Amino acid sequence: MMPRWYFVRRALRFHREDWTPSEPGTWFESVEEAVAWTGRAVCLTDNRLDELRSIIEPGLLRVDGMVAHPPRPRATIWWPGAASGSLG
């Protein structure tokens, strides 16, 4: 995300709503599947998956043989205006 000063200097007024989902978003059939999915989401190569597993496995939820990341805080950010079809 761009730093707050970026938006302030451009007089862009934005809104932010912090929230935490009540349920995990994605359930996986195995820890390996959860690690592989997470690795792709953060653009890690396969040779880093063992390291990633050691980081995320202790925090995974386990229910009926399935695993999931616990719900984590999120933010929705929006600002007034309309798309112009141009970034410049």
Token pair for 47 = 């040779």
Alpha carbon distance 46, 20 (integer Å): 30
Share of the chain above pLDDT 90, in %: 68
Higher-confidence position of 16 and 14:
16
For the chain, state the CA radius of gyration: 18
Q: What is the DSSP string of 36-79?
A: HHHHHHTT--GGGHHHHHHHHGGG-EEETTEEEPPP--EEEEE-
Q: What is the pTM of this model?
A: 0.66
**pLDDT tens by residue, 39-60:** 999 999 999 999 999 999 999 9
**pLDDT tens by residue, 15-25:** 899 999 999 98
